[in-house]
Amino acid sequence: MLTPLTAMIRKDLLLYATDRRAVILTLIAPIVIAAFFGFIFSGGGASSTPAKIAIAIADEDGSAVSKAIVMGAQTDRNLHVDMLSAALAAEQVRKGAISVAVVIPKGFGEAAARAFFSAQNRPRLTFLYDPSHLGEMGMVSGILTQYVMESVSAEVFSGNDNSARIAEESIEASSLPLDQRDKLRDLIDAAQAFYSLPPLPGPEGTSADAHPARGIGMPYVVEEHAVTSGADVTYNGYAHAFAGMTIQFILIAAVDLGIGILTERQRGLWKRLRSAPVSRRLLLAGKTVSASLLGLFSLLVCFAFAMAVFGVRIHGSIAGFVLVAAASAFMAASFGILIAAIGRTPQAVRGVSMLAVLVMLMLGGAWMPSFMFPQWLQQLSFVIPTRWAIDGLEAMTWRGLDLVSALTSSAALAGFAVVFLGIALWRFRWEE
Amino acid sequence: MLEAQHLRKSYGELRAVDDISFQVHPGELLGLLGPNGAGKSTTIAMLTGLIEPDEGIVLINGQPLTGDSDPAKLRIGLVPQDLALYEELSALANLRFFGALYNLAGARLESAIDAALSLVGLSESRSAAVKTFSGGMKRRLNLAAGLLHDPDILLLDEPTVGVDPQSRNAIFDNLRTLKARGKALLYTSHYMEEIEKLADRVVIVDRGRVIADDTLAGLSARVPLPASGERSSLESVFLGLTGTSLRD
């Protein structure tokens, strides 16, 4: 039994070595495409600063408040601000040159100060956005909230004649009882008196940021920590890209495997194989093992390239990485056998199986990380084997998780493989 | 000896083989003839264990053929109608693979390959990729692949389709050699002159049943003598027994 099995494996490896297209498909294509996606995911490099969101602000107000908002936005590290007219800003958004344009209408500063005391008659801050950049719209809105609150509150509490007038008019116009109006007036007077004081010198070595803002500032400072497997380990976008692309191409190779089996059957080769005293299980086992070995070889070569050139590292368990890679290759090979089992002809099965692969890749997070999916889709993706393969490879690389994590992914992948092979054995059309 | 006993096989409503029985003896070449759809391919598939008969048995030297991995298959060699070869691999790599399926390994395998290649006249081309071979060379290699494990019984399913007269003649010589070595040969073909040249006995099947099992002389006696007074050709006997209407 061993001689036929090893012969079948050796023959398939030999055929692979003589097939230039197969070598390109399983080695060169995943490396090239993963390198491209890795470059994109890494923002042009692991250590580079994040790309700024290009926005435009149309300041039709020109008040102290609006100028302060503009200044805050211009100094924000996440934004690149151009000052344009409202019409020109809208045109730039339409053309896709910028993602978001903010129009600060005339009278915004005073209206915002009045609305500060009563929630009525709040002025509108108009956001014009590119619908294909919805995520950026949310980010810009959040960032500007901070600067609007700071600017408006700083104006309200500045104690100048204009702010005092606005405060008094707002209190008089309110529906508060007289005693409550007095208390509010006292509160504003006290705040204005406080903010009119010159800033205290801070302790030696501290910056001005250590002192209260001149308005209502954000009551916290964001401290960002990328959580990876260690303090000195940074996220490497190439790790995700290589995980996704290598899984993609071993699945495409699996489609080729299935089509190859059907072609061999069409060419009468399976008659010769089956006339030999070898069992059907052994024939399928030979194909599965050889395809698994080739898939594993492809995964290991691609990741070796990623390590050598793009600094991808296995921060988790090396044994776990090999285990997940082997289980992924086994799953892909079994998928190829399944294609051969349910397909009638190579021509008929090619389109359907490629569609299945594309859906698996899309839902499995090969093209974009699965955390970007809606919650229900994230849950659904756990029934897709590619999700386990990609998560498992990422867990062993930049996430730096342990062998137990690899065992979970590998067990899931092996489970899928067993199901695929079971269906294949059940449905395989042995009779030509 | 190969013996088919009351083989029956149906595909849905279609009865492809309906009670076919015959024997092939050592040192004998039996021609198996029939129009398209007569049941020849299904019969060959049952004889080689590719499909299981609904009824009846196949006996190899008196032992029933059972299951995919029955060791009795070691006694059978199949030369399929298709060129069942890996075109990208060399002749040697192909034969090493097919030999290993019959548990041949090491010196035994290499010796078997040498013998098979020598028989079909391809020793010089052993290292060349099959895709560089002519049609005739591929046919001869196809035959060699079926002979590697030195089977007692060789089933040849139209083994000369599309080959030039030289290669066909070479294949005929190979078959005569094998017959002389005591092999039992079952040969199917649509070329009646091939059967006339090679066969000791002919079985004609039609609509899934054996309609004649006889020597060439015996078959000729079943139809009236032509005006020339010579023995009827096999083709005229065949058409006389199976009719001239198209079958597909």
pLDDT band at residue A201 under the 50/70/90 scheme: low
pLDDT in tens, chain B (248 residues): 899 999 999 998 899 999 999 999 999 999 999 998 889 989 999 999 999 999 999 999 999 998 888 999 999 999 998 899 999 999 999 999 999 999 999 999 999 999 999 999 999 999 999 999 999 999 999 999 999 999 999 999 998 888 888 888 888 999 999 999 999 999 998 888 999 999 999 999 999 999 999 998 888 887 777 767 677 788 888 888 887 777 66
Q: Is the pLDDT of residue A206 over 60?
A: no
CB-based contact (8 Å) between B52 and chain A?
Answer: no
Mutate to test the interface with B, among A264, A275, A281, A284 (most CBs of B within 10 A): A275
Smallest Cα distance from B219 to chain A, Å: 32
User: B242 and B35 in contact (C-beta within 8 Å)?
Assistant: yes
What pLDDT, in 10s, does the model give residues A24-58?
888 999 999 999 888 877 755 444 566 788 999 99
Tell me the backbone φ, ψ of residue B103, rounded to 5 degrees. Answer: 65, 20
pLDDT of residue A430: 80
Query: For helices A280-310 and A403-427, what crossing angle results, to 10°?
Result: 140
Q: Is the pLDDT of residue A231 over 80?
A: no
DSSP for residue B85: S
Q: Do A431 and B45 touch (CB under 8 A)?
A: yes
Q: Is the pLDDT of residue A202 over 60?
A: no
Instruction: Choose the closest CB to A15 out of B49, B82, B89.
Output: B89
pLDDT of residue A332: 97
Contact residues, chain A to chain B, C-beta under 8 Å: 3-4, 6-8, 10-11, 14-15, 18-19, 267-269, 271-280, 282, 430-432
CA-based angle B56:B62:B65, to the nearest 5?
50
User: B205 and B40 in contact (C-beta within 8 Å)?
Assistant: yes
Q: Do B80 and A268 touch (CB under 8 A)?
A: yes
Q: Retrieve residue A14's tokens.
A: 């030999």
Q: Retrieve residue A327's tokens.
A: 């289980």
Place of tokens 């009278």: A107
Tell me the backbone φ, ψ of residue B206, rounded to 5 degrees. Answer: -150, 135
DSSP for residue B90: B
User: A49 and A22 in contact (C-beta within 8 Å)?
Assistant: no
What pLDDT, in 10s, does the model give residues A369-422?
777 778 888 888 889 999 999 999 999 998 889 999 999 999 999 999 999 999
Cα separation, B111 vs B245, in Å, equals 49
Q: Is the pLDDT of residue A122 over 90?
A: no
CB-based contact (8 Å) between B63 and chain A?
Answer: no
pLDDT of residue A128: 94
Q: Is the pLDDT of residue A210 over 50?
A: no
User: A53 and A140 in contact (C-beta within 8 Å)?
Assistant: yes
Torsion of CA A176, A182, A184, A185, to 10 degrees: 130
List of chain A residues whose C-beta atoms are within 8 Å of the C-beta of residue B69: 277-279, 282
Q: Do B102 and A277 touch (CB under 8 A)?
A: yes
Q: Is the pLDDT of residue A215 over 80?
A: no
The complex's ipTM works out to 0.89
Instruction: Choose the closest CB to B76 out of A3, A7, A275.
Output: A275
3-state secondary structure of B112: helix
Predicted model pTM: 0.77
Q: Do B69 and A271 touch (CB under 8 A)?
A: no
Instruction: Choose the closest CB to A18 out of B48, B76, B89.
Output: B89
List of chain A residues whose C-beta atoms are within 8 Å of the C-beta of residue B145: 272
Q: Do A8 and B97 touch (CB under 8 A)?
A: yes
**Three-state SS annotation for A113-175:** HHHCCCCCCCCCCEEEECHHHHHHHHHHHHHHHHHHHHHHHHHHCCCCHHHHHHHHHHHHHCC
